[in-house]
Structure 1
Amino acid sequence: MDYLNLGRSGLRVSRACLGTMNFGTEHGLAAGDEAEARRIIDAFVEEGGTFIDTADLYHRGETEEIVGRALRGRREGIVLATKGAMPVGAEGRGLSRRHLTRALDASLRRLGTDYVDLYQCHQWDPYTPIEETMATLDGFVRAGKVRYLGCSNFTATQIVESQWAAARVGGTPFVSVQPQYSLLQRVIEAEIQPACERHGLGMIVYGALGGGVLAGRYRRGQAPHPDSRMGRLLGTTMPGGNRWAESLLTDRNLDIADELVKVAAGLGAAPAEIALAWVAARPGVTSIVLGPRTAGHLHQSLAAFDRTLPEHALARLDEISHVDTGPLDGSFFHLVPRR
């Protein structure tokens, strides 16, 4: 396992980050019982993983409780990250001082710890001044409840506004952002990745397997298996579940998955391994969030971090997944006809 500094901070994290959204029972999307979650965490640590990511939203706090119990006796060896902002029961929502203060204290209680290494804003709050948010987060750092700060699902503009606001209030800036990134979803290359580079944020990317599409689990014209993630989402009552699944099972995405299978076959590897290795090779990516449902799935994913893709494979993957994001240098001269 390799380790990198997160952004311009001194916090070193493993290139693989264990995502825990599957640990719990709400909506029937659980990885299984708590014993399986413990096996996954044990296997991750045994393979050299140090970075675990969770959120108060996941299964209405149950996930944090599971993670907290699994880390008893070995907390100091783990870089533990969680998120706040979303609704959890009657605790409200948003990035206000009132909500974040209550949310962090509740997360610490569920995790069974007195601090988290990385506390992340789960989404932007248009109703709270960003200066209030950044001042509140700085207070958490000064109180010793949080070591570093990050955000998730922010746009490039929101990232920049947050960093400027931290400077204005004399507070602590973000060191990371957690965006979605995969062969299916490359829009962050247009603005988010350059903003992170400019402002010194590491990228902790999620969704690298496109909900399983890039693992070769779904085929055109075939209904998802009922026990697969897509099958469960299409049959769940989780808000937005059907819409999210349908947005992934598009003709474009399935075309990319078909071509990925061919590239992987030429390299003698599984499609998921190649998809993850491609993301790991992209500029600015510090760590990749893995979301295994079993310890076996985890081991398959970790193999990607030992693989260096040849140039011809990288070029082919870039070609099949390319999206026109426009000029990345901020120039408008591409609009002027060439003479």
Structure 2
Amino acid sequence: MFSALLAIIYLAFISLGLPDSLIGAGWPVMHTALHVPVAYAGIVTMIISADTIISSLLSDRLTRRFGAGKVTAVSVLTTALALLGFSVAAQFWQLCLLAIPYGLGAGAVDAALNNFVALHYPSRTMNWLHACWGIGAAISPYVMGFALTHSLGWHSGYRIIGVIQVALTILLFATLPLWRQKEQAARAHASDSQPLTWRELFGLRGVKEVLLAFFAYCAMEQTAALWAASYLVKVRDVSPAAAARFAALYYIGITVGRLLSGLIADRLGDQNMLRLGTGIMLAGIVLILLPVSSALPALAGLVICGLGSGPIYPTIIHETPMNFGAAHSQAVIGVEMAFAYIGTTFMPPLFGFAAGAIGLASYPVFLLVFGLLVLVPTERLNRLTEN
């Protein structure tokens, strides 16, 4: 039962990553076919992010009422139907409309699965779970590329991923009994308390620190990935092809970092794992920042930053039940997810506007500031929870 359920959870997280890269991979063709400017991709992604934030904030009440298994199954079904809708959309406004259920489904399943694993599985499982997301996010551009290079059209890329999501939905509904046994203890524990009000939630000791750290990390990660190639080309005089490869290596570094962290996380413990990851991440950022003529330190630093970044996100989530109690963990993780999406949605474009005024050379300084905003509040959180 343990192995079967865990395999399903891993598949669900691969599924969660699958759609995330589709619009980026297909947009050069999509915007032409839909007769809209290239910048309109941001409208779709903003709608998805806004609805993801909403469903993350509602995840505590949904999971208390229906259980993580049902929330996951219905959420994956919702995203599957949205993706199939994308596969037949002929006008831009239809993409905007379909982005609403897509975002709502993605946020709910993300928060529900993260809390379920944090409650029931060790730290290594959480790291490997988020490595599965990276696998899904890496697969989807190849799916879109296959559809485009074989003259199937961008609609087929969405259709393929949508069908995969439908198959997973069927599997999730068929295996709901596997979730119930593990959920019974958590439900009994959660039933002793009512859902927290927003004032009570933000009043929990350490919540402000963990939300700042989560926001800062996600802002740093997304900004690092989005602007890496531009920084390497414009500031470090790296060729566009090499810059693109090293930008991709940053995300590969995150995935590899999570896979490796899973091997040692249970022995080190969450706090030490978080310190190790943050230290390696900051070391990578310092290498990018070094004022030397050679681009090699910056290239190496980007990869090292990715490796260190790997365990940070899953470790913060995994220690949430320990820091705030199992009864409150779903509510806290839901808000953590919301702050994560705020960081990833708004900070990269804000950096773009700032870089237009002060230059792309500020890229590693921005990363360092937000890297320190991960280190300082997590260390304060560690002291608060130790006392």
Q: Could you state the TM-score of these two structures normalised by the residue count of structure 1? A: 0.26
**Bigger RCO (CA 8 Å, 6+ sep):** 2
Please state which structure has a larger fraction of its residues in helix. 2
